[in-house]
Amino acid sequence: MIPVISTIDLLKLASGDILSLQVYQFIGRQPGKKAYIQANLHGAEIVGNAVIYQLIEFLSTLAEEQIAGEIWLVPVCNPLAVNQRSHFFATGRFSSYDGKDWNRIFREYQTNSSDLLDFAKSQLNNPPEIIKRNYRERIKTAWQQELKKIEQPKSVPVSQQYRYQLQSLCLDADYVIDIHSSSNQAIDYTFCFSERAETARYLLVDYGIMMNEYNGYSFDEAFLNPWLALETQLSKLGKAIKFDIESWTLELGGGMTINPTSVATGFKGIKNYLNHKQILQLSESAIAYPITLVKKDKINSYYAPTGGMIQSRLALGTKVNAGDKIYQLLSFNKQQELPEIIDICTETDGLVFDISINQCVNQGEYVMDILDCSN
């Protein structure tokens, strides 16, 4: 089948050029759920574009009957970040205007608690699908305010102009997958909400990181948190509902590179997930994969205790025990001393989860993450 392809203007540059998004919509013959999948929100994290390319290739081979509902695909979803360069490195993690992480700018629908309580009460006799529809209406209505702010003389900063266009694409989605990578180098994994951890097994990655601390304003949270808040409120009123609405940040490999293994993992996982959710109507069955779920605060970051050069660092995926040497720092000085080698050992058991690209570090620069899988 052939996708509907549409282009959405994002913002005009000082030069008069306009940066845009392009959306590929595969719309099935049967009605159904809407999956929204984007890639490259951080400029260096390009793996997901190759995954989306493979999805487009694959979906194009399907007949319309094989899709129930809709699949929306948005590669290179942040042109501002993708095109940020310093020397020839892709540095698009933070907006250069305000230093904000491009994945901490999103607007979450929130009402004050009495409004939410009133709404929940008014829905107690409705079936879940009606509640969902009514709540979505509220979210969309609130979203109109964002556009009004943009149109005022004061207007709003770059990040708010951008988020308006991007979030508008998935306000009515059922499943959101935001494909990232480490901006450094990392293993493949997914972030997941503890309330939706069950389904993580269908993404076919080895590790799931559960967000036990509130991150704030990330794309996945901005989408799902309003629904979790509603579930909590309804539950307090004695009506326990779990909406079939999910949000994932899928992390595939490292920055500035397209690792073919990570691409294959991402493609296979997303296809399986869409099959499980029955948007894809395939002959094969979806499979569930054993996944190790770990809380986010079990990621222990190591920073350089002094300036120097990183040597003999353990490779990604290495298992370590507390006290094992994980890297060396070759440190020079300007006090007429010989250079010294400093051994750094892990404080906990765990797994080498993420490592810096740059092995030349000032004191306090990031070196590596150890994921403590105990517990």
Pairing, β 207-210 against β 189-192: parallel
Q: Does 213 bind its own copies (CB under 8 A)?
A: no
Distance of CA 276 to the CA centre of its chain: 20
Pairing, β 308-311 against β 360-361: antiparallel
Q: Does 145 bind its own copies (CB under 8 A)?
A: no
Q: Which of 112, 335, 374, 375 binds its own copies (CB under 8 A)?
A: 335
Question: Can you tell me which residue has the tokens 């000085």?
Answer: 333
Task: Specify the residue, 7 or 30, whose C-beta has the smaller distance to its own copies.
Answer: 7
Task: Specify the residue, 2 or 240, whose C-beta has the smaller distance to its own copies.
Answer: 2
Q: Does 318 bind its own copies (CB under 8 A)?
A: no
The helix (H) or strand (E) run that includes residue 143 is: helix 128-151
3-class DSSP assignment, residue 342: strand
Task: Specify the residue, 99 or 127, whose C-beta has the smaller distance to its own copies.
Answer: 99
Q: Does 218 bind its own copies (CB under 8 A)?
A: no
Give every CB contact of residue 172 below 8 A, 6+ residues apart in sequence: 34, 136, 140
Using alpha carbons, list the distances in angstroms from residue 247 to 36, 173, 206, 219, 369. 9, 10, 18, 9, 24
Q: Does 91 bind its own copies (CB under 8 A)?
A: yes
Report the C-alpha gap between 185 and 45 in whole angstroms: 10
Q: Does 124 bind its own copies (CB under 8 A)?
A: no
- Shortest Å distance, C-beta 371 to its own copies: 13
Q: Does 153 bind its own copies (CB under 8 A)?
A: yes
Q: Which of 168, 199, 306, 318 binds its own copies (CB under 8 A)?
A: 306
- Shortest Å distance, C-beta 69 to its own copies: 21
Task: Specify the residue, 12 or 140, whose C-beta has the smaller distance to its own copies.
Answer: 12
Residue pair 306/290 in contact by the 8 Å Cβ criterion: no
Q: Does 128 bind its own copies (CB under 8 A)?
A: no
Residue pair 337/315 in contact by the 8 Å Cβ criterion: no
Q: Which of 194, 232, 261, 358 binds its own copies (CB under 8 A)?
A: 358
Residue span binding its own copies (CB under 8 A) among the ranges 128-136, 165-173, 192-200, 252-260: 252-260
- Give me the DSSP letters along 301-341: EEE-SSSEEEESPPPTT-EE-TT-EEEEEEE--SSS---EE
Q: Does 240 bind its own copies (CB under 8 A)?
A: no
Q: How many CB atoms lie within 10 A of CB 60?
A: 12
Q: Does 351 bind its own copies (CB under 8 A)?
A: no
Q: Does 148 bind its own copies (CB under 8 A)?
A: no
Task: Specify the residue, 86 or 144, whose C-beta has the smaller distance to its own copies.
Answer: 86
Q: Does 44 bind its own copies (CB under 8 A)?
A: yes
Q: Does 185 bind its own copies (CB under 8 A)?
A: no
Task: Tell me the site size for its own copies, rule CB under 8 A.
Answer: 106
Q: Which of 126, 141, 232, 311 binds its own copies (CB under 8 A)?
A: 311
Two structure tokens written together for 5: 């392809």
Task: Specify the residue, 74 or 228, whose C-beta has the smaller distance to its own copies.
Answer: 74
Residue span binding its own copies (CB under 8 A) among the ranges 38-46, 105-113, 139-147, 275-283: 38-46
- The contact mask relative to its own copies for 255-274 (x = CB under 8 A, - = no) is -xxx-x--------------
Report the C-alpha gap between 110 and 225 in whole angstroms: 9
Task: Specify the residue, 161 or 199, whose C-beta has the smaller distance to its own copies.
Answer: 161
The count of C-alpha atoms lying within 13 angstroms of the C-alpha of 21, restricted to the half-sphere facing its C-beta, is 25
Question: What is the DSSP secondary structure assignment for residue 285, as one 8-state letter?
Answer: P
Two structure tokens written together for 220: 């996945």
| Entry field: residues in the chain | 375
Site for its own copies in 100-119 (CB under 8 A): 100-101
